[in-house]
Amino acid sequence: MELFAYLEREKGICLNPQQQEAVLAPERNILLLAVPGSGKTTVLVARMAHLLLNRGADSRRMLTLTFSRETARDMGSRFATLFGELCPVLPRFSTIHSFCLSVLRFYAEALNRPMLQLVGKSQKTQILREIYRKQNEEFLNEDNLEILERLIGYVKNMMLTREQIGQENFEISGFAEIFTAYEEWKRAGRWMDYDDMLTLTLEIFRKCPGIRKAVQGRYDYIQVDEAQDTSLVQHCILRILAEKSRVFMVGDEDQSIYAFRGAYPQALLEFPEVYEQPRVIKMEQNYRSNRDIVSAANRFIQQNRNRYPKEMFCENEREGSIQVLPLQDFSGQYTQTLREILACPPDERIAVLYKNNESAVPMMDLLLRQSIPFYVKEHRLTYFSSSLIRDLTCYIRLAADLQDTEAFGQIYYKMGYSRFVNQVVQDQAGKYPDLFACIESLTSVPDFLRKRAAEYRGKLKRLLRLPPAEAIDVICHQLNYQKYIESRMSDGYTRISAYQKLNTAKILAAGLKDPLEFLRRMEELEQAIQERSGMDPSAQVTLSTLHSSKGMEFDRVILLDCLESVLPSSEAEKESLQGNTALMESEVRLFYVGVTRAKSRLVLFRSDRMNGAPAAASGFIRQLVQGSALPDGNLYGKRVRHSRFGIGRIQKQEGDLLTVYFGNYGVKQLAAELCFREKKLELLDPLEKEKENPHGRIKNR
């Protein structure tokens, strides 16, 4: 049948030439690169219909793999809406985890072996806490639990060997030992987790040729959605399936934002070399956003080096804009966002996007106070249960009641006291006017610790008379907590994460009269967020992390936390300055995803202050609005001056990566965009006489 005529006549859908090419492409294995808003889902299901209706394909021998169960349901619904009348037997839409689980069941039945049990989330949490406590002799807090679970998934999905795990510098102390103990526990109890579904399936395919051949024989056509989010182990499984099937892979390496989970966008770049009879097709027309947003986003993403060349364009003449609003202080981004929401017409959908979940809490606070309905996309409410917030709570509780042994037991070592002191306090506190009097009575304790007890008592008494934001500063700087935070930086308690939580607490404290009112508001807010979060997906306002926003679109997008060291991260900046651009490219992609969610209006904020302290607006803002900081033209052979290495000559330019010779400093690889933007590198006048480098003369090489 004439598929395109049917879609236009019956469904009002007119496919452009690039989309039609993707639907009809006859090659065995196809990679479709689809820019944001290019209609990839419509094309994917249209190609399936073409195969079924015009190529005689059997829907039972067709498999479509998606990134999530929600996407699988939506794509199945989309196919049924467009082609259900013509194709009454729907193809299979599945997550890759669900597909792998079916392979494991088939394996168990074929070999008459018992199926491994799937470990539940609470059970997994419990065993990880036990293993962590044995390894590090301390409690596993919520922050580090999330990091630990992510790292385990990353190791599995990237198929790291024990040797590679031992060489990695992970965020969790003793991670290699914890991972080994967790794997041994699963093996002893015949357990598996979700990541094991993938690794075990790959192992079965490699070791059991009969099972491999039987599974391969089930499918003639395999479609893969959001291929840029597929991990290395998943790509290995797909390559095996492709030996006997035709693969249609849809993705965009520019939108790969899950590297921390093991996403392997490099597989898309390797596609022409890995798959038989390959073809790469591009869909570059954006139907979502207006011209200003599309042009800026297209220009911004081109600074990345590891990508296919694409020129995103649109024919959308709809009015719209990118606005960068100045603020006296970054803490004002929430009240300004509220103004934007209140000024928005009721028929427009708004998204407030942020990198870290804690950034959403002050926004939720304002929306709840204004009785504005909102929807939270995949929010993990860990802010209130984080160890830092619990600690602040305990300091205030102790200030309110100097006999609160429970609060003291949570923070004694953060105040510089030993386990022995805590034990004595817990046993004898009732015999003294307050806990610090008990400490003062201990003759076995050094004099400076007894003296500190008197100082702490006085500071805690004064704490309750201070505005809450000032009280938080006293806790940090006068009650030893800052020192504790600094000591925990190497164990997942990163500087940026800690300070973000503290800044959020100060923002929530603004306008409250005292620490006790702050305590009550935190309790009320936690309960209110738990009751309201995720309740109404149709609400005008959506709050979402940048990662969770992918696949969504909104009339207006407000992007929070456009701060240096947050977006991009300080680690990405550090690595990039040393020539390692992988993290920076990942941050660029994340920002790009956020920008391209907007249809008509994008709002960003800039300031040079955060809660009164010096701060810097993200360089991404300038790159988005003004373009690259790089000098015009080819930089090969040009002379430059570096703030550290002195005068050098550029030997090679590959995308954003410069190779520069600096005399006695030798050859360095530098991230061009960041170095020029941060004034680390400047281009020298070619007519200027070459001067002696203090560490060696530049030679013509």
pLDDT of residue 381: 67
Per-residue pLDDT tens over the stretch 299-314: 999 988 889 999 999 9
Closest C-alpha among 666, 670, 682 to residue 573:
670
pLDDT of residue 687: 60
Q: Which of 213-217, 623-627, 688-692 has the lowest mean pLDDT?
A: 688-692
Grade residue 693 by pLDDT with cuts at 50, 70 and 90: very low
Per-residue pLDDT tens over the stretch 656-688: 678 999 988 899 888 787 788 777 888 887 665
How many Cβ atoms are within 10 Å of 627's Cβ, its own excluded? 13
Closest C-alpha among 533, 205, 137 to residue 357:
533
pLDDT of residue 613: 81
Amino acid at 326: P
pLDDT of residue 555: 94
Q: Is 505 helix (H, G, I), strand (E, B) or coil?
A: helix
Q: Is the confidence at residue 474, as pLDDT, over 60?
A: yes
Q: C-alpha dihedral over 60, 64, 69, 75, to 10 degrees?
A: -90
pLDDT of residue 239: 93
Average pLDDT in the 384-404 region? 90
Per-residue tokens: 272: 């022409």
Per-residue pLDDT tens over the stretch 20-58: 999 999 888 999 999 999 999 999 999 999 999 999 999
CA-to-CA distance for 269 and 655, rounded, in angstroms? 15
Grade residue 627 by pLDDT with cuts at 50, 70 and 90: low
pLDDT of residue 428: 85
> What stretch of H or E contains 455?
helix 447-463
- pTM for the model stands at 0.84
Q: Is the confidence at residue 642, as pLDDT, over 60?
A: yes
Closest C-alpha among 77, 37, 45, 78 to residue 62:
45
Question: In whole angstroms, how far apart are CA 97 and each of 69, 118, 236, 262?
Answer: 10, 12, 14, 15
Grade residue 60 by pLDDT with cuts at 50, 70 and 90: very high
Residue 172 has phi, psi (to 5 degrees) of -100, 130
Q: On the CB side of 374, how many CA atoms lie within 13 Å of its CA?
A: 31
pLDDT of residue 378: 66
Spell out a b/e string for 583-598, using b for 16 or more CB atoms within 10 Å of the CB, else e: bbbbbbbbbbbbbbbb
Grade residue 488 by pLDDT with cuts at 50, 70 and 90: low
Spell out a b/e string for 256-294, using b for 16 or more CB atoms within 10 Å of the CB, else e: bbbbeebbbbebbeebeeebeebbebbbbbbbbbbbbbb
Per-residue pLDDT tens over the stretch 140-195: 877 788 889 999 999 999 999 888 888 887 878 889 999 999 999 999 999 999 99
Percentage of residues of the chain with pLDDT beyond 90: 51
pLDDT of residue 393: 92
Average pLDDT in the 104-122 region? 91
Give strand pairing partners of 565.
569
CA-to-CA distance for 594 and 546, rounded, in angstroms? 6
Per-residue H/E/C for 640-664:
EEECCCEEEEEEEEECCEEEEECHH
Q: Is the confidence at residue 200, as pLDDT, over 90?
A: yes
CA-to-CA distance for 471 and 514, rounded, in angstroms? 8
Grade residue 430 by pLDDT with cuts at 50, 70 and 90: confident
pLDDT of residue 126: 94
Average pLDDT in the 213-227 region? 93
> What stretch of H or E contains 149?
helix 142-157
Q: Is 216 helix (H, G, I), strand (E, B) or coil?
A: helix
How many Cβ atoms are within 10 Å of 193's Cβ, its own excluded? 20
Per-residue pLDDT tens over the stretch 431-469: 889 898 888 888 887 888 888 888 889 999 999 999 999
pLDDT of residue 493: 42
Q: What is the sign, positive or negative, of the torsion defined by CA atoms of 585, 229, 278, 156? A: positive
Closest C-alpha among 197, 160, 190 to residue 175:
160
CA-to-CA distance for 453 and 432, rounded, in angstroms? 13
CA-to-CA distance for 342 and 93, rounded, in angstroms? 40
Grade residue 692 by pLDDT with cuts at 50, 70 and 90: very low
Mean pLDDT for the chain overall: 87
Percentage of residues of the chain with pLDDT beyond 70: 94
Quick one: DSSP state of residue 9? Answer: I
> What stretch of H or E contains 62?
strand 62-66
pLDDT of residue 297: 95
Per-residue pLDDT tens over the stretch 526-566: 888 877 665 677 889 999 999 989 889 999 999 998 988 88
Q: Is the confidence at residue 282, as pLDDT, over 50?
A: yes
pLDDT of residue 491: 43
